[in-house]
């Protein structure tokens, strides 16, 4: 799967939890999920679980902890898809 496709999917999955809709419109790999998009930290778990379900992958706790930006999420998903 192409990086751009993964990014689009990631943005789609994050959208329901985003409080800062303006930041989402300009979102890129550097966009931080909690700080920039205003996602509640407790909901980050839901987002990770959504990634698992959508991409049919398993994300371990260590990888989940490394997800801070949209780019991090794409990287983690891409590495899991390659396994």
Partner 1 sequence: MLTRYDRFEISLQRWLVRSSTPALYGIVWVWMRINRGYSIRNLSQVRNAFRSWAARGEGPILICSNHLTLVDSMLLIWALGTPLSYLLSPDLYPWNLPERRNFQKNLLLRALCYFGKCIPVMRGGPRDKSLKTLERIRYVLNSGDSVMIFPEGTRSRTGSVDTENFSYATGQILQGAPKARVLCVYIRGIRQKAYSDFPARQEEITVDLRPIRPRARGTGLRAAKEISTRVIRHLKAMEAAYDARHANNRQ
Q: Is 57 in the site for partner 1 (CB under 8 A)?
A: no
Nearest-approach distance from CB 19 to partner 1, in angstroms: 12
When asked if residue 15 is in the footprint of partner 1 (CB under 8 A), the reply is: no
The reply to whether 41 sits near partner 1 by the rule CB under 8 A is yes
Report the distance separating Cα 1 and Cα 3, nearest Å. 7
60: its two tokens: 């371990």
Among 2, 4, 26, 60, which residue interacts with partner 1 (rule: CB under 8 A)? 60
Please give the Cα distance from 26 to 24 (Å, whole number): 5
- In the list 1, 21, 49, 81, the residue contacting partner 1 (rule: CB under 8 A) is 49
Length of the chain: 83
């Amino acid at each position: 799967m192409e990086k751009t496709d993964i990014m689009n999917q990631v943005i789609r999955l994050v959208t329901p939890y985003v409080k800062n809709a303006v930041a989402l419109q300009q979102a890129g790999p550097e966009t931080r999920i909690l700080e920039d998009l205003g996602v509640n930290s407790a909901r980050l778990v839901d987002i990770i679980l959504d990634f698992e379900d959508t991409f049919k992958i398993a994300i371990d706790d260590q990888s989940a902890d490394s997800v801070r930006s949209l780019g991090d999420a794409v990287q983690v998903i891409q590495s899991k898809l390659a396994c």
